[in-house]
Every structure is written in structure tokens, then in C-alpha cells.
């Protein structure tokens, strides 16, 4: 009887502290805009967070300095090193304006970490 009680108690205790390990896909978009009269591009990474003019959402280094990329491929490699997988890439051209390139990435996260 004590053995059954012990097994039942351990089962309840284990299930009470187990975490939900359901995985969900999250997406981000890299937008690369060419600069006028330059070969350089401006990189913006959109993780889908709410944007505000009062808060700076730009990507920063560990020391707080603005993260700068040498090229679009530098930004793509940065995301790849951080576990993001390229899903799609496409250009958008505007009349008399710079070309804008969009790169969509996805990554799997534990559901409880995204809420």
C-alpha cells in the first residue's frame, strides 16, 4: 500500500512541475534598403514587436552600441548564427526610388517562452 501511495505521489508531483515543451514557429523579416548615391544598405530587422517613436527598437550589441552590418549577407549570416532559417527573399522596387529587399526567417521556440 505504501508503495502504491509513493508511486502515485511521485507521478502527481512530477506532472505538477513539468513544463509545456510545445514548439511554435516565430518569424522575422530583414528589410534591406539601398542608399542613394552609395553601395551601402540600411538594415532593419522586424521581429513583429509593437513599435513606438518613444522607444528605440534597433538591434544593439551587448555593450549597448547599435549593431551595424557590413552588407545584407552579413545580416543574413548573423540571423543564421542565431538559429534563424531563411524562408523567402524578394525584392520590391519603387519607381524612382531605391530597391528594397525583404528576407523572411523563421525559428522554433518553446511556446511558454513566447507568451
Per-residue pLDDT tens for 6-40?
A: 566 656 655 555 566 788 899 999 888 877 777 77
- pTM check: above 0.85: no
Check if the beta carbon of residue 79 is closer than 8 Å to that of residue 28: yes
Greater pLDDT, 63 or 41:
63
Cα separation, 42 vs 33, whole angstroms: 5
Using only the alpha carbons of the chain, give its radius of gyration.
22
Locate the DSSP E strands across the chain.
23-34, 41-46, 85-92, 100-110
Over residues 70-111, the pLDDT tens digits come to 888 888 898 899 999 999 999 887 777 777 889 999 999 888
Cα separation, 10 vs 4, whole angstroms: 10
Amino acid at each position: 500500500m505504501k508503495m502504491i501511495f509513493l508511486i502515485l505521489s511521485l507521478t502527481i508531483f512530477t506532472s505538477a512541475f513539468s513544463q509545456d515543451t510545445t514548439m511554435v514557429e516565430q518569424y522575422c523579416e530583414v528589410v534591406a534598403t539601398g542608399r542613394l548615391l552609395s553601395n551601402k544598405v540600411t538594415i532593419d530587422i522586424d521581429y513583429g514587436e509593437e513599435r513606438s517613436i518613444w522607444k528605440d527598437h534597433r538591434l544593439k550589441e551587448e555593450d549597448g552600441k547599435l549593431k551595424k552590418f557590413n552588407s545584407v549577407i552579413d545580416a543574413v549570416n548573423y540571423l543564421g548564427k542565431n538559429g534563424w532559417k531563411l524562408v523567402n527573399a524578394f525584392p520590391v522596387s519603387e519607381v524612382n526610388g531605391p530597391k528594397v529587399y525583404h528576407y523572411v526567417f523563421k525559428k522554433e521556440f518553446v511556446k511558454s517562452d513566447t507568451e
